[in-house]
Amino acid sequence: MKKKTVIGIIGAGRIGRVHAEGICNQIPGAHVKSMADPFMNDETAQWAESLGVEFTTKDYKEILDDSEIDAVLICTPTDTHARITREAAKAGKHIFCEKPIDLDVESIKETLRVVEEAGVKFQIGFNRRFDHNFRAVKDAVSAGKIGDPHMIKIISRDPSPPPVEYIKSSGGIFVDMTIHDFDMARYLSGSEVVEVYVQGAVLVDPEIGKAGDIDTALITLKFANGAIGSIDNSRKAVYGYDQRAEVFGSKGSIASGNDTLSTVVLSTEDGIISEKPLFFFLERYLASFVQELREFVQAIVDDTDTPLGGLDALRPVQIAIAAGESLKTGQAVKLSY
Amino acid sequence: MKKKTVIGIIGAGRIGRVHAEGICNQIPGAHVKSMADPFMNDETAQWAESLGVEFTTKDYKEILDDSEIDAVLICTPTDTHARITREAAKAGKHIFCEKPIDLDVESIKETLRVVEEAGVKFQIGFNRRFDHNFRAVKDAVSAGKIGDPHMIKIISRDPSPPPVEYIKSSGGIFVDMTIHDFDMARYLSGSEVVEVYVQGAVLVDPEIGKAGDIDTALITLKFANGAIGSIDNSRKAVYGYDQRAEVFGSKGSIASGNDTLSTVVLSTEDGIISEKPLFFFLERYLASFVQELREFVQAIVDDTDTPLGGLDALRPVQIAIAAGESLKTGQAVKLSY
Amino acid sequence: MKKKTVIGIIGAGRIGRVHAEGICNQIPGAHVKSMADPFMNDETAQWAESLGVEFTTKDYKEILDDSEIDAVLICTPTDTHARITREAAKAGKHIFCEKPIDLDVESIKETLRVVEEAGVKFQIGFNRRFDHNFRAVKDAVSAGKIGDPHMIKIISRDPSPPPVEYIKSSGGIFVDMTIHDFDMARYLSGSEVVEVYVQGAVLVDPEIGKAGDIDTALITLKFANGAIGSIDNSRKAVYGYDQRAEVFGSKGSIASGNDTLSTVVLSTEDGIISEKPLFFFLERYLASFVQELREFVQAIVDDTDTPLGGLDALRPVQIAIAAGESLKTGQAVKLSY
Amino acid sequence: MKKKTVIGIIGAGRIGRVHAEGICNQIPGAHVKSMADPFMNDETAQWAESLGVEFTTKDYKEILDDSEIDAVLICTPTDTHARITREAAKAGKHIFCEKPIDLDVESIKETLRVVEEAGVKFQIGFNRRFDHNFRAVKDAVSAGKIGDPHMIKIISRDPSPPPVEYIKSSGGIFVDMTIHDFDMARYLSGSEVVEVYVQGAVLVDPEIGKAGDIDTALITLKFANGAIGSIDNSRKAVYGYDQRAEVFGSKGSIASGNDTLSTVVLSTEDGIISEKPLFFFLERYLASFVQELREFVQAIVDDTDTPLGGLDALRPVQIAIAAGESLKTGQAVKLSY
């Protein structure tokens, strides 16, 4: 029997727990040895134990110091990602880090430099690339089924806005929400974004506007390969979490729709009614959270590149910053890297 | 029995013939008395006669001079629309004019002034407003089913590009193709466009680029009522004439799909295959060409406003010109009227 | 210019008028010269005149006696079809007869014998074969796309039951409703029905049961070519006129869905809602009524067989009679012809 | 922390393994202590150990004798189900048994009598009731959304036939395949089947006919509550595992479609192509295998009835036997229980 990849999870909040359950229940080739969280308590420790986690602690450095541990998942608040990533790299651990590493480009670059020097594997947590629908879109494009891509179109609407307090601290819609779409645009186009233009508005909740953010946006992208694209964002689609993409090209179009709880269709005097999109992102994307780790572990086992490396961590933040500038100036902003 | 509205058709090209057949076969309250075309020949005259048209001529002035004729349809080449409209107005005829009146804003304004002075009815031929799908979208919006509109999204892709020679003389994509979408954006939003931004590309055929035009475009709109919108254009969707719209708002979304020849679905080892969108615009929009005239005739009979008046003829041209400017400068262009 | 096929319409009720309008407005190669109806009045005569019909009368024999008339459409009550068909045949007129010729098999056979002797063309009015959806199903089968047919499945549900008084005189569900489906089964299978079994129930309205009929039925068919099939009937589908078919075979399945007023989809908190099937049979099948006559006229012009001849008039009645016997006995009934 | 329900699994073939993985990874309230299989070997034992199973053996009696074990899953060949069920009942274990208990009605009845005497819980493995799609159909019916059920329609087509050798020993299509549909018919109708009629054919493979079975069937059902229904079976739907149901009633219809790998739609010159139904039953129904056990465990914990008891084990076999009789005689067969 092959040795399992031994993993420590740093951060036992919502996403840390999702990852723990995913690995323990669905990735036989990996073992979560330890979990660390400054707020670790008995209840969390018991839950971890029930999954087969051997060790829980308040101090993530115990994980970094554990020579048995091959890789860490960094699931802590965003403002600690860069620092812990650097420490983990220096400790020789392979790293899976939730997005984004940082909101500061220089900090990201420095962190990636440290990672590279350490020679450890690094993967950033843009889970949507591992979603069955988006992957099927990408696969069709890669297989040449739609010819040369001309337009990349992404619809990404949340079911309801986060608390305004969160928005105040998150860095705004481009870094807390659209950043996934910027990654998706790069993934589906197979190219870099070289220009961005934003038309934004506050239409969902004036409080969001008062907090200095927008809640509705149409974003236009130009790619290095000549293709163009758009992202359609709203903080509130009352019918559910609307997550779709289309790539249109010289030989046709490939488009993904939403997932639903079931396929049933009700026909009555009131119309023909089918199910709404899944509402909650963890429900919608659960399988993708497992799949991104499955491929991370596989990259360690096979000693290959991870599917989402350093540039994939850096570029979306750069695009988000340019988007913010476009929103402020009302004009298109060019990116050069 | 009520007196029929008597109509003369000026121009016996493709669209003039479509209108003649529509009125003769499907609008019992109207009668096409005469058709004029400088290239009128025996074959066309016979075809007209078989429909019940009484009189054919090479000189449209015979129609303007005929006191029995209540209304004219102007179906001639674009560069004659303004002049003939003015002449018809002065002759006291109600006017249905194919779009656009002119590519020159001042000429349009002058023409509309003459029409107003004459006190005749005027309707511009943006037929898509009368299409069953787009009208169902509009009706849902008007009925408040999606609440306040936040985003207006239009997909408008032609099945194949026109000859490059045509593009050279047409004024380009914004005036020969997108102009319908600019009208649709005004229709669905119920508001005026106050800002436009274009990201365009030549991806279908380099000859189109050499002719000074683009063939692929993503256009962002801002409306006076605060909503935002986008238009997605391609000169070539190999799977057919892709004509869709969505209005997204505070209470949901209403979206239209494409029409097909049939509803059949073929399930085989190769996949689940349904019909492509109708390919040809006359096939796709045939019923709308009849409906726009039905409502034009009704406005005459009831002495009410036509559904699409002077501003509806002017504004799309103004937006198209601004779009051209945005494409040239690479920046958003504000419109003030 | 080619001579038009001259037509007389016998019966100016609902279907007679539909046919008159279809020919006058959409079949340029045919001309309706005369219409006869025992209840002909000024209003109907004026309506006919406005369509271009030259002559109206209360006496259909004037049509049979008119040597200019090439063909007649028999749109009278069912109990007169056989007699008038025979008279028209003897008068040398080509005949389009609404279904059924008669409810009595011997009368149908005798009528068909007379028609054959007269050497005139005969077509029975099973219009659904000319519907775009069902024809697309048939075309896929004929093109071999689903291989050898194994199962023919027909769903045929009315939006609401006819008056009970009608049911009492119509001959019941199998002859007034399912007869179309028996024809469709023969059409789609390309084979004859050799066995029929009915499971029926009174679930919509007990008054229908008191009138000696059923309102809900599942009918199983066996075809001469070895395929099997089913028909699903209800007198009342509250969501609309549900008219679907599927042919399942060795290489796959071809299935048709319903037509709707538009393609719009409304997404709200209540679900994803699309349009109901068209409700009214004339709306749903209007184009098929024109198409059946277009092909009838073409058969006259080309001197070829009509698309639906004598056997197509006879067999569905025989199957309907066998279905009635199965309902009564509760057992499967074999057919031999 | 609550005590887990301790489970022994008898039979480590395909379905036994699916259940072991389901419980170990997704049912935290249950623990698989032991697995037994006469062919238990090192590989299987290691796989079991990796899941957390404590004990493996060739002799299932060790499981029955283990007083720590609360419940057993019987996943052995069909001809052992009845005997092991009786032994397990006598040993005081709660029982989950794969379907069917037996092909012999008297044996089933005797087994259920022993189970009842022992006072243990019993659940039969008709997993499809726990499928998200079929459950959504049932929930809509239970909620009164379609009013009174009039027709229950089930489409159940396998992607490819089993080996003819299997068919020879399985008891034939009604007991190895349709039995699930008989259960579904009872579930969706909420009523008992009182009459069955079969029209069957050998159209997929003549070898199946030589083995004394059919491969294509249309089955008509009558229910005690007056509703009627049909089942459509084929051994070979080349486009995938086609598993659908509809309940049609006085207020409308609820219908389920197939599950697919993704929602993507490819639009090309060849058509609009979407994904085929999932092909393999374990892929299609995986979640339902977990859910049936989750509810089984919950019934033990709550000391309530299991969702599928003794009658649910007996009735489908009785219907299958009647179906066989109908196929042989060509006539409808009444059931009385």
Q: What is the DSSP string of A198-226?
A: EEEE--S-HHHHHTT--SEEEEEEEETTS
- Measured between CA atoms, the residue of chain A closest to residue D146 is A268
A chain contacts of residue C276, beta-carbon cutoff 8 Å: 267, 269, 271-272
Which of C39, A149, C3, B141 is closest to C16 using CA atoms? C39
pLDDT band at C1 (very low <50, low <70, confident <90, very high): very low
pLDDT at D1: 47
- 3-state DSSP assignment of residue B230: strand
- The pLDDT tens digits for D2-49 are 689 999 999 999 999 999 999 999 998 999 999 999 999 999 999 999
- What is the ipTM metric for this complex? 0.95
Q: Tell me the C-alpha to C-alpha distance, in Å, between residue B114 and each of B86, B91, B110, D317.
A: 6, 11, 6, 85
- Measured between CA atoms, the residue of chain B closest to residue C271 is B252
pLDDT band at B39 (very low <50, low <70, confident <90, very high): very high
pLDDT at D2: 64
Which of D70, D73, D67, D68 is closest to D85 using CA atoms? D73
* pLDDT beyond 70 at A1: no
Mean pLDDT within B123-145: 98
Tell me which residue in D239, D267, D270 faces B272 most closely, judged by beta carbons.
D239
A chain contacts of residue C242, beta-carbon cutoff 8 Å: 267
pLDDT band at C2 (very low <50, low <70, confident <90, very high): low
Where b means 16+ CB within 10 Å and e means fewer, D269-295 reads eebbbbbbbbeebeebbbebbbbbbbb
**3-state helix vs strand vs coil in chain C, percent to 5:** 40, 25, 35
- 3-state DSSP assignment of residue B185: helix
Please, which residues have CB within 8 angstroms of residue A9's CB and are 6 or more apart in sequence?
A16, A19, A20, A32, A34, A35, A36, A72, A73, A75
Stretches in chain D below the pLDDT threshold 70? 1-2
Question: Do residues A182 and A151 make contact, with C-beta atoms less than 8 angstroms apart?
Answer: no
Can you tell me the distance from the alpha carbon of D136 to that of D246, in angstroms, rounded to the nearest whole number?
11
Question: Which residue bears the tokens 């089968």?
Answer: C141
Whether B273 sits inside 8 A of D269 (CB atoms) is no
- The pLDDT tens digits for C4-63 are 999 999 999 999 999 999 999 999 899 999 999 999 999 999 999 989 999 999 999 999
Strand order, beta sheet including B30-36: B55-57, B30-36, B5-10, B71-74, B94-97, B122-124
Q: Tell me the C-alpha to C-alpha distance, in Å, between residue A26 and each of A9, A306, C85, C167, D32.
A: 16, 19, 74, 62, 17
Residues 217-256 of B with CB under 8 A from D: 237-240, 242
SS (H, E, C) B74-129: ECCCHHHHHHHHHHHHHCCCEEEECCCCCCCHHHHHHHHHHHHHHCCCEEECCHHH
Chain centroid, CA B102 distance in Å: 13
Whether chain C has a CB inside 8 Å of the CB on D86: the answer is no
- Identify from D156, D194, D214, D220 which residue to disrupt to test chain C contact, counting C C-beta atoms within 10 A and taking the largest count: D220
Q: Tell me the C-alpha to C-alpha distance, in Å, between residue D282 and each of A294, D96, D127, D289.
A: 21, 18, 11, 9
Please, which residues have CB within 8 angstroms of residue B126's CB and are 6 or more apart in sequence?
B99, B180, B183, B184, B187, B292, B308, B312, B316
Torsion angle (degrees, nearest 10) of CA A287, A293, A294, A297 = 180
- The pLDDT tens digits for B187-198 are 999 999 999 999
Mean pLDDT within A52-63: 97
* pLDDT beyond 60 at A149: yes
User: Apex CA B236: angle with CA B230 and CA B237, to 5°?
Assistant: 80
Can you tell me the distance from the alpha carbon of A181 to that of A323, in angstroms, rounded to the nearest whole number?
12
pLDDT at A3: 85
Question: Do residues D284 and D157 make contact, with C-beta atoms less than 8 angstroms apart?
Answer: no
- Measured between CA atoms, the residue of chain C closest to residue B23 is C25
Please, which residues have CB within 8 angstroms of residue D201's CB and are 6 or more apart in sequence?
C150, C226, C227, C228, D214, D215, D216, D217
* pLDDT beyond 60 at C196: yes
Tell me which residue in A151, A200, A252 faces B218 most closely, judged by beta carbons.
A151
Whether A254 sits inside 8 A of D263 (CB atoms) is no
pLDDT at D185: 98
First to last CA, chain D: 46
Q: For chain B, give the number of residues.
A: 337
Rounded to the nearest 10 degrees, what angle do helices B81-90 and B105-118 cross at? Answer: 10
Tell me which residue in A46, A137, A265 faces D264 most closely, judged by beta carbons.
A137
Whether chain B has a CB inside 8 Å of the CB on D274: the answer is yes
- 3-state DSSP assignment of residue A268: strand
B–C interface: beta-carbon pairs under 8 A? 94
> Quick one: how many helices (H) and strands (E) in chain A?
12, 15
What average pLDDT does the structure give for chain C?
Answer: 97
Question: Do residues C251 and C147 make contact, with C-beta atoms less than 8 angstroms apart?
Answer: yes
C chain contacts of residue B257, beta-carbon cutoff 8 Å: 263-265
Mean pLDDT within B324-330: 97
pLDDT at B3: 85
- The pLDDT tens digits for A269-326 are 999 999 999 999 999 999 999 999 999 999 999 999 999 999 999 999 999 999 999 9
Whether B50 sits inside 8 A of C257 (CB atoms) is no
First to last CA, chain B: 46
What average pLDDT does the structure give for chain A?
Answer: 97
Chain centroid, CA B332 distance in Å: 25
> Cis ω on the peptide bond leading into residue A100 (within 30° of 0)?
yes
Whether chain C has a CB inside 8 Å of the CB on D145: the answer is no
| Max CA distance (Å), chain A | 66
Can you tell me the distance from the alpha carbon of D78 to that of D80, in angstroms, rounded to the nearest whole number?
5
User: Apex CA B210: angle with CA B204 and CA B212, to 5°?
Assistant: 95
- Give Rg (Cα) of chain D: 20
Residues 312-331 of C with CB under 8 A from D: 330-331
Whether B263 sits inside 8 A of C269 (CB atoms) is no
pLDDT at B170: 87
pLDDT at B1: 47
Q: Where are the alpha helices (DSSP H) in A1-146?
A: 14-26, 42-51, 61-64, 81-90, 105-118, 132-142
pLDDT band at A2 (very low <50, low <70, confident <90, very high): low
pLDDT at A169: 87
C260: DSSP letter: B
**pTM for the full model?**
0.96
Q: Tell me the C-alpha to C-alpha distance, in Å, between residue A235 and each of A180, B250, B255, B289, C295.
A: 14, 10, 19, 39, 56
Whether chain A has a CB inside 8 Å of the CB on C262: the answer is no
pLDDT band at B169 (very low <50, low <70, confident <90, very high): confident
